[in-house]
Structure 1
Amino acid sequence: MLKKLLHEPLLHFLLLGGLLFLFYSFSQHDENTENSIVISKGRIEQLTSDWEKKFFRTPTKEEKQKMIENEIYQTVLYREALKIGLDKNDDEIKRRLAQKMEFVAYDTYELPLPSDEVLKKFMREHPEKYKEEGKIHFTQNMVGSDTTEFEKEYTLTKFEAGNIFGRPFAEVLFTLKPDGKVHKIESTYGVHEVRVIDRPIEKPKAFDTVKEKLKDDYLSLQREQKNRAIYEKLKSQYNISIEEK
Structure 2
Amino acid sequence: MRFASRVLARLGRAPLLHFLVIGGLLYLADAAWQRQTTDPAASVPLERIVFSARQVEQLRQDLKVQYGFPPSREELQIAVDAAVDDEVLYRQALAVGLDRDNESVRQRLIQIGGFVAEDPGEDEEVLYQKALALGLQHTDLVVRRQLATTMRLVAENVPLADEVPPDEATLEAYLQQHPDAFTVPPRLSLTHVYLSTDERGAAAEADAVLLLDELRNHRITPDRSNAFGDPFLLGYRLQRQTHDAVRQMFGESFALALADLAPGAWVGPVRSAYGWHLVWVEAVEPAELPPLAEVEGQVREAVLAERREQRMQETMRQMRAEYTIEIEAPWSGAGDVLASEAAGG
* TM-score (structure 1 length as normaliser): 0.53
After alignment, is 192-201 or 222-231 more displaced?
192-201
Residue type of the alignment partner of 1:241: E
Structure 2 unaligned residues grouped into runs of 5+:
1-23, 28-102, 108-122, 198-203, 212-227, 231-235, 335-345
Identity of aligned residues (%): 17
Deviations 1:177-210 (A, max 9, x none): 2434755343xxx345475724211322222232
1:98 equivalent to 2:183? Answer no
2:259 equivalent among 177, 181, 185 = 177
Q: Aligned letter for 1:82?
A: L
Distance 1:202 1:113, change over 3 A: same
Alignment-derived partner of residue 326 in structure 2: 239
The 2-side partners of 1:159 and 1:77 are apart by 60
Question: Given the superposition, is the C-alpha separation of residues 230 and 200 from structure 1 closer, same or farther in structure 2, using an over 3 Å criterion?
Answer: same
- Any residues of structure 2 matched to 1:105-184 within 5 Å, and which? 105-109=155-159, 111-132=163-184, 134-140=186-192, 141-142=194-195, 144=197, 145=204, 146-147=207-208, 148=211, 149-150=228-229, 152-158=236-242, 161=245, 166=248, 169=251, 173=255, 176-180=258-262, 182=268, 183-184=270-271
8 Å CA contact 1:136, 1:196 repeated in 2: no
Structure with the larger RCO, 1 or 2 (CA within 8 Å, 6+ apart): 2
The equivalent of 1:85 in structure 2 is 135
| CA-atom RMSD in angstroms | 4.2
- Following TM superposition, by how much is the alpha carbon of 1:109 offset from its aligned partner in structure 2, in angstroms? 2.2
- The 8 Å contact of residues 158 and 171 in structure 1, kept in 2 or not, is answered as no
Cα distance change, pair 168–91 in 1 and its aligned pair in 2 (3 A): farther
Distance in structure 2 (CA, Å) of the matches to 1:240 and 1:103 = 26
Cα distance in structure 2, aligned partners of 1:74 and 1:123: 54
Point out where structure 1 has 5 or more consecutive residues left out of the alignment: 1-45, 50-66
Residue of 292, 299, 304 corresponding to 1:219 = 304
Q: Is the 8 A contact 1:142 1:150 kept in 2?
A: yes
CA distance in 1 between partners of 2:244 and 2:271 (Å):
19
Q: Is the 8 A contact 1:185 1:192 kept in 2?
A: yes
| Secondary structure of residue in 2 paired with 1:199 | strand
Equivalent pairs counted in the alignment come to 175
